[in-house]
């Protein structure tokens, strides 16, 4: 399977994505917790780590047969098993991706499904890019995927671009004042801190790029 072309985004690709995302989240758990301690509940790293562990367990118990099943299973597990806001938000994104995904999963199909997932986060969180949330990483990543489809870029490069955009978006939250979520209660004190949700979104996109390569 050539995962860099977009033709090989089969079930194994998505299982590998969640596996690597879980691995990277575990490696970055303390950093995510530290970021959340500054402007949130100090549980983002632990919650996400537990969430991806639960996703891995769900896959082991009921192995997905299709990309749609993998995404819906992961999303449902995160919604049911993860506390705080991250479980429902990421869970809704993955579930919506799965529900809106066609087969075979080309880059164009993935990009459209990803955009649908981002819209689900916007609706649930009642937030937008610039509010200092995970959307500050997810929206730029989605735009890069759409642009890559328009430019007929290979999936490997498209995912690398999306990962870079997500990382840049996460860093760009540092000078922002939070307008949504628990951090918004801090007002000006939220300025100067990277948003933990944007940071974890960048990690998940980095995992996607790594699997595609």
Per-domain residue ranges for the chain? 11-212
Q: Which residues of the chain have pLDDT under 70?
A: 1-8, 39, 177-190
The model carries a pTM of: 0.92
Coil vs helix vs strand at 62 = coil
CB-side neighbour CA atoms (13 Å) of 121: 32
Q: Percentage helix, strand, coil, to 5, in the chain?
A: 70, 0, 30
DSSP 201: H
Q: What pLDDT does 163 receive?
A: 98
Considering just the CA atoms, what is the radius of gyration of the chain in Å?
16
Right CATH for 11-212 from 3.30.1600.10, 2.40.10.10, 3.40.50.300, 1.25.40.340? 1.25.40.340
Q: What pLDDT does 2 receive?
A: 39
Q: What pLDDT does 188 receive?
A: 65
């Amino acid at each position: 399977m050539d995962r860099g072309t977009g033709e090989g985004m089969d079930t194994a690709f998505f299982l590998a994505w969640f596996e690597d995302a879980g691995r990277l989240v575990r490696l970055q758990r303390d950093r995510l917790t530290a970021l959340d301690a500054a402007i949130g509940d100090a549980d983002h790293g632990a919650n996400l780590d537990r969430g991806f562990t639960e996703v891995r367990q769900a896959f082991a118990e009921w192995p997905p047969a299709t990309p749609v099943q993998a995404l819906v299973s992961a999303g449902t597990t995160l919604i049911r098993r993860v506390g705080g806001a991250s479980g429902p938000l990421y869970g809704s994104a993955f579930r919506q991706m799965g529900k809106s995904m066609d087969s075979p999963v080309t880059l164009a199909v993935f990009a459209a499904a990803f955009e649908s997932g981002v819209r689900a986060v916007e609706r649930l969180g009642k937030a937008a890019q610039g509010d200092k949330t995970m959307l500050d990483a997810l929206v730029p990543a989605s735009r890069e995927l759409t642009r890559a489809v328009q430019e007929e870029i290979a999936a490997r490069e498209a995912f690398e671009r999306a990962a870079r955009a997500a990382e840049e978006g996460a860093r760009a939250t540092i000078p922002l004042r939070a307008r949504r979520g628990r951090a918004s209660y801090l007002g000006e004190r939220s300025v100067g801190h990277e948003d933990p949700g944007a940071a974890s979104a960048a990690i998940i996109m980095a995992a996607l790029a790594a699997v595609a390569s």
